[in-house]
Amino acid sequence: MFKNIKLMPAPMASLTDLPLREIYIKFGAKAVITEMISSEALHYGKPSDLLIKSLSQHDYSDANFILGAQIFGSDEKKMADAACFISQFPIDFIDINAGCPVKKVIRQHAGAYLIKDYEKFFSICKAVTDSTKLPVTVKMRIGFNSIATNITEICEKLENIGIAALFVHARTRDEWFSGRCHWDIVGNIKSAVKIPVFANGSIDSKEYSDEVIDSTSADGVMIGRAAAHSPWIFSSWQKEAFVIDRSFVSDVMIEHLRKAESIYQEYAAVKLRKQLMLYSRRFPNSKRFKISICNSSTIKETLEAIKRWKNAA
């Protein structure tokens, strides 16, 4: 399934919803993954309308991409139930979150905590793979407080359980998103398993991704924050050249806003505040735009702020 895929955007809470995934696909992403979905809600049969839309409303008329749904939790039965629920939608694979470092997820003994309690980790992965016919992948860290001394053995066990691919953030939980990435560990993991391994962590260009693949022998890379503020990054692999100026970026902002409006209605103006500010971050003199976006609560106000930013010197 991942044979011809060299890169994909990383799933990120509060960002990689349906509209942003569609933007990624537009610019050439061949695989996308949902925001992490709590297994609790799916276990108790209370999925939100927004979740249903997120899982069912991708445009498959030109299906040149694959879609994964990411679930998180710490209970085997609930994770298995979540996988069963998701399997009824047009999803290509299910991803288990074993990488999220935020405290509210760690307190649930989920996300990156699983690398600390790896026996529980194995039980969850086995329960999920047994509950669905879909391929199951894992997004993971290489340790909790420090690099796990048995990280390669953990990955070998995941392969033996039936995990189809590993997306490895080359940092520990305590390193969050800062400091150097431990690419040598990713290389060790790749040498230990036969399933696809994607390297993740601070990759922000095709040139850097090529370096990482060369040094680790990874099958591909997963791009997180760089893709969130520059989704056109995926066009680099398609050899498409865009002039990334205010006019280009403002057009992307408006397209993204319209896609969000179709799902969130007027609330899209509030929902997209963070995303729109990310789009503007690499341009000078964007402080006024960020203030305007934070003060905008309607689609009209947001569009006006974007147009002013587009024409700013």
Q: Which of 100, 125, 155, 181 is catalytic?
A: 100
d(CA 291, CA 289): 5
Active site residue 100: yes
Q: Residue 304 in contact with residue 295, Cβ under 8 Å? A: no
Amino acid at 72: F
Helix spans in 168-298 (H) = 183-192, 206-216, 225-229, 246-264, 268-271, 273-280, 287-295
Token pair in block for residue 293: 């976006």
Beta-carbon contacts of residue 100 (< 8 Å; ≥ 6 apart): 13, 36, 72, 106, 110, 111, 112
Contact call for residues 120 and 148 (beta carbons, < 8 A): no
Q: What is the dihedral of CA 271, 225, 196, 111, to 10 degrees?
A: -60
Alpha-carbon distance of 213 to 190, in angstroms, equals 11
Q: Would you please indicate which residues are annotated as catalytic (active-site) residues?
A: 100
